[in-house]
Structure 1
């Protein structure tokens, strides 16, 4: 069951979303909010998988609100988002934030169901990624959901609000890196149960791909990755157990 909340400053819009969610058996719309502080308080207290988010609100835009929770240090993973608005011009910026979908008001139940099914598909992929036996990770980039084999990932580089995922040149997705709008924290959570480790504030490496370590530098496929001082002891302990 997908745990969802909705944020919209117009109560009629929330009533429509509530009615539509009641007609599907895989979304539990546990709360509707007309104020951003109310929604933020819920997100900080309860794990939420999906956020229906209006863009045009008086105090802060939905896009800015989602950016804010994306950069927060909340204890729960960032929820998926489906933006809702009456203004089509916001669609491009909404999708740049890896939105699952964009519902243009007024939308029909059929259009809502299409967006809900997209969220359900992505939710299932995320749950698979939590398994240590899963050999793939799914990453949204360039309006595409990429299926990346974990064995093909060399290392991940953090660049402000983006990640550059460096791949084996011979992989189906190589040789160019995949650039995704995602935080290092979110990527760490996705890779928590597999053989990857953060070794620097800006780098996560595949321990299976490490070729050599010298002078606080990791060598992977001819590339050099620095080891941050605060990560050095953990890396030495974990890498040493494998070699």
Structure 2
């Protein structure tokens, strides 16, 4: 992955340069303490990942990211906690609060590398995953761990095996598009289920292997026949 760092603090840039140099698979192409110069570079030479401070003179990191037509993956680096929600809205990979150490930096980069591989169809492991933003960070969810997905108006709740549910701002239709169509089916305007975890169907209700029972709505009754034939 190619990357660029933009920060008005020279010491912060040197730290990122030092940390990036220790990570395989990450090339730090350029560093900028002038955000305007950084914008011009990114518009002419897009990169895969951008490390960027938020509170800078002339233009904030948030506005800089918004100005880019071709957006790289974003890791915000800042001394202020108050901008976490803004970073979430821009779908940042991670949000590093200064001062951060090498371990925290490398974990953020690993998230970016995982998501980059996912987007380009080259996952490093055989486990299929779903990536969602929750609690101001990008979360990788193995699809084998999904018990069912529940709609909560503008949000969805992803119920997991042996882990607490994950809440994310997304529609049920959108998450359905991200999941393997042969492995997940919608059975109701409020629910998506993994076909492999259906134990039984009776009285227009699905019984999952976890013991959870969910309704099948009139619009999705074809699932019953599909399940019988599978």
With normalisation by structure 2, the TM-score equals 0.54
2: CA distance between counterparts of 1:227 and 1:63? 46
Q: What pairs with 1:89-238 in structure 2 (closer than 5 Å)?
A: 89-90=81-82, 93=85, 100-104=94-98, 111=100, 113-123=102-112, 130=123, 133-134=126-127, 141-142=134-135, 150-157=144-151, 159-160=153-154, 162-167=155-160, 171-173=161-163, 177-180=165-168, 191-192=179-180, 195-196=183-184, 204-209=192-197, 219=206, 221-224=212-215
- Aligned residue pairs total 210
Cα contact 1:156–1:204 (8 A) shared by 2: yes
1: CA distance between counterparts of 2:185 and 2:30? 36
Q: CA deviation at 1:224?
A: 3.5
SS of residue paired to 1:150: helix
- Distance change (3 Å), C-alpha of 1:149 and 1:102: same
- Distance change (3 Å), C-alpha of 1:209 and 1:24: closer
Question: How big is the alpha-carbon RMSD for the aligned residues of Structure 1 and Structure 2?
Answer: 5.4
2: CA distance between counterparts of 1:218 and 1:164? 20
SS of residue paired to 1:166: strand
Structure 2, unpaired ranges of 5+: none
- Distance change (3 Å), C-alpha of 1:119 and 1:132: closer
SS of residue paired to 2:163: coil
2: CA distance between counterparts of 1:240 and 1:6? 51
Structure 1, unpaired ranges of 5+: none
- Distance change (3 Å), C-alpha of 1:115 and 1:123: same
Structure with higher Rg: it is 2
